[in-house]
Amino acid sequence: MRVLLIGSGGREHALGWALHRSSSVTTLVSAPGNPGLSALGECLPITVDQSEALFEAARSGNFDLVVVGPEVPLVEGLADRLRDAGIPVFGPGSDGAQLEGSKAWAKEFMTRHKIPTAASRTVTSLEEATRELRAPIVVKASGLAAGKGVTVAESLEEAEAALEACFENDRFGDSGHTVVLEEKLTGEEVSLFVITDGKQYACLPSSQDHKRAFDGDEGPNTGGMGAYSPAPCLSAVMLERVEEEIVQPTLNGLSKEGIDYRGLLYVGLMLTPEGPKVIEYNVRFGDPETQAVLPSIEQDWGLLFLSIAKAAFNPSDLKAPSAGASVCIVAATENYPESSDKGLVIEGIEEAEATGALVFHAGTAMKHGELVTAGGRVLNVVGRGATLKEALDVSYTALDRVRFSGMRFRKDIGFRALS
Ligand code: AMP
Ligand code: GLY
C-alpha cells in the first residue's frame, strides 16, 4: 500500500522507519519529511501547518493510509477532512484532539468521567488567576504551545511571571489566554501509549522521557533529551490499575461523548503516593519516546495502523515486545533549548549505525550536499539490548561516533531505572 506520513522530526523518522520495514508498505511518502526520511521515500515540500496542501497531496496521491505525526494538523481537523474524503487516517479527528488542544477541555473531560488527575481551576484573566494564588502551583497555557506552555512554579513570583507571560506578554497567543492552574503532583512520571480504533485498544510498552536539559534532571525543560522503554516503575500490577482507573474510563468517556477516536492516545502519568494520575493527554506519539518504543516490537506497523484507521483493530494482532530494553539519546546543539545552531556539519552517522544502533534524524537538513544541523535536537541515537545497561552501552558507543560542533547529550539517560 501507499502511505503518506506527515511530519518532520525524530518521531516521524522512527515512524517512517517502522512503516518502511512493513511488508505491507510498498511506497512511503513524507510531508515534509527530513534527510533521514528522504532515504526511505519521496519527501513533499509541504509543512505541517499547510492543511489545504496536505489534504490535496493525500487525495491526489492515491494513498491507502495517512499517518499523522504531530498534533497541530489533528487539532486543525485534517483527519476529519481526510476521513470525509474516504481516505483512511491514523490520528483522531478534531473532537478527540481537544484532549491535547485544550487542557481546559481535557480537565473538564476528566472531571466528567471521574479520571484521577491533579486538582485544578481554569482562569481567563490575570486578575482571576492571581486571586488566592498559592505556591507551589503548576501554570499551564490551555492551548497548544509546542511543549513550552507549562511552568511548575515553586514560588508565587514564578507563578506570577508565568501568568504575566500568558496574559500580558501574549507569549503563547490565544493558547495562553485560558490557563489551567493545577496542584503540583509528586512521583515518577511515565508515558503510556494506547492505540485504539474507538472500539478496541492495546497498550504499547511504557517509557520514560527526560525533559530537563542537563544531567540529574537539572536545567530548563526541553522537548525531551532522551527516553527509555520499558519503564520499570510501571509494574504489571500498576499497569492493570492504570488501565482500569484511567485508560478504560478515558476511552469509554470518548465513546459516550460520541467521539470516534482512531489513533494513538498518549497518557502522561504521574505515579503519586495516592495512585496514578493523569498529567496530560497527547493525541499523537510522544517524542522522543516513540524512537525507543517502536523498535522494541517486530510488527507490520503499516497493517496495524491501517486496521486502526479502518476501525477494524484486533488487539491480538499487536505482537508482544521483544525481551530487553530500548534507549533513545538525543544529540542536541550546544545552547539548546535557549537557541539552536543551524548549519553545522554533521559527521559519523554511518559509523554510528555500523555499531548496531539506529540513528534517527530530528533536526537536520541538506545544504550544498552536506548534512547539517537544522534544529536544537539534531539526532536520536537508539540502542537495544538484553538489559537497560546493554541498551545504554549500544547507544552511547554509537553516539561517540557522531560529531558536530558543540554537540551535547545527557550522560544519565535511564538513571532512575538503573538505581
Ligand atoms: P507538559 O508540557 O504538559 O508535558 O508538561 C511538562 C512537564 O511539567 C511534565 O512532564 C511534568 O514534569 C510537569 N508537570 C505538568 N503538570 C504537573 C503537575 N500537576 N505536577 C507536577 N508536575 C507537572
Ligand atoms: N515526550 C513528550 C511529548 O511528546 O510530549
Average pLDDT value for residue range 242-256 = 98
Which of helix, strand or coil describes residue 205?
Answer: coil
Q: Does pLDDT of 221 surpass 90?
A: no
Reported confidence tier of residue 276, pLDDT bands at 50, 70, 90 = very high
- Residue closest via CA to ligand 2's atom 5 equals 286
Q: Where are the alpha helices (DSSP H) in 89-206?
A: 94-101, 103-112, 126-130, 156-167
* CATH architecture label of 325-418: Alpha-Beta Complex (3.90)
Domain ranges of the chain: 2-91, 120-182, 186-317, 325-418
Q: Does pLDDT of 313 surpass 90?
A: yes
pLDDT of residue 208: 96
C-alpha cell at 183: 496542584
Q: Looking at ligand 1, which atom is closest to the CA of residue 186? A: 21
Please list every protein residue whose CB sits less than 6 Å from any atom of ligand 2: 147, 209, 224, 282, 286-287, 289
Reported confidence tier of residue 416, pLDDT bands at 50, 70, 90 = confident
Contact between 198 and 187 under an 8 Å Cβ cutoff? The reply is no
Question: Could you tell me the sign of the dihedral formed by the alpha carbons of 7, 288, 140, 164, in that order?
Answer: negative
120-182 has CATH 3.30.1490.20 classification: yes
Average pLDDT value for residue range 102-115 = 98
Q: What ligand is nearest to the CA atom of residue 9?
A: 2
Same fold, 120-182 and 186-317: no
Which of helix, strand or coil describes residue 39?
Answer: coil
Q: What is the pLDDT of residues 72-82, one digit of tens each?
A: 999 999 999 99
pLDDT of residue 419: 79
The per-residue pLDDT of the chain, averaged, comes to 96
Among 33-42, 140-149, 223-232, the least confident range: 140-149
Q: What ligand is nearest to the CA atom of residue 149?
A: 1
Q: Respond yes or no on whether the N-terminal peptide bond of residue 273 is cis (omega within 30° of 0).
A: no
Q: What is the pLDDT of residues 145-203, one digit of tens each?
A: 988 899 999 999 999 999 999 999 999 999 999 999 999 999 999 999 999 999 999 99
Read off the pTM.
Answer: 0.96
d(C-alpha 227, C-alpha 154), whole Å: 26
- Residue closest via CA to ligand 1's atom 10 equals 211
d(C-alpha 306, C-alpha 304), whole Å: 5
Place of cell 507549562: 150
d(C-alpha 9, C-alpha 26), whole Å: 22
Q: Does pLDDT of 417 surpass 90?
A: no
pLDDT of residue 418: 86
Q: What ligand is nearest to the CA atom of residue 223?
A: 2
Give residue 225's Cα distance to chain centre.
Answer: 12
186-317 has CATH 3.30.470.20 classification: yes
pLDDT of residue 146: 86
Average pLDDT value for residue range 295-305 = 97
Taking the centre of ligand 2 as the mean of its atom positions, its distance from the CA of residue 290, in whole angstroms, is 9
Q: Where are the alpha helices (DSSP H) in 295-375?
A: 301-309, 349-354
For 2-91, CATH number out of 3.30.300.180, 3.40.50.20, 1.10.260.40, 3.30.2320.50 equals: 3.40.50.20
Percent residues over pLDDT 90 in the chain: 96
d(C-alpha 222, C-alpha 377), whole Å: 9
- Residue closest via CA to ligand 1's atom 15 equals 279
Q: CB neighbours of 108 closer than 8 A, spacing ≥ 6? A: none
Q: Where are the alpha helices (DSSP H) in 21-141?
A: 35-38, 51-60, 71-75, 78-84, 94-101, 103-112, 126-130
